[in-house]
Amino acid sequence: MTDFHGNLAQLPPGSRVLIQGVNADNDLRARLSALGLAVGKEVHVLRRAGLNGPLHLRAGTTEVILRRSEAAKIQVLSTQALAA
């Protein structure tokens, strides 16, 4: 993957990114953080369901299924962009 800066919902399976920000209300931000989806954490996109379905993600040792509408609120940066 080339350098990428955007939201989590845009990524293909196999992508590894760092969370840069969460543009959500406090309740959703707290829920995502409890699931391991917090600023500075690395996320691996495992699968994308068809027909605008959810994403299957891994954050650390935790696997999460997340709605695309929620994933779109998570701003990310590719880990390769940081290595450059």
Q: What is the architecture of the domain spanning 5-83?
A: Roll (2.30)
For residue 83, pLDDT beyond 70:
no
> What pLDDT, on the 0 to 100 scale, is given for residue 3?
67
- Taking only the tens place, the pLDDT of each residue in 30-60 is 999 999 999 999 999 999 998 889 999 999 9
In this structure, how many other beta carbons lie within 10 angstroms of the beta carbon of residue 8?
23
> What pLDDT, on the 0 to 100 scale, is given for residue 14?
93
For residue 1, pLDDT beyond 50:
no
In this structure, how many other beta carbons lie within 10 angstroms of the beta carbon of residue 74?
26
> What pLDDT, on the 0 to 100 scale, is given for residue 80?
66
User: CA neighbours within 13 Å on the CB side: how many for 68?
Assistant: 12
pTM attached to this predicted model: 0.85
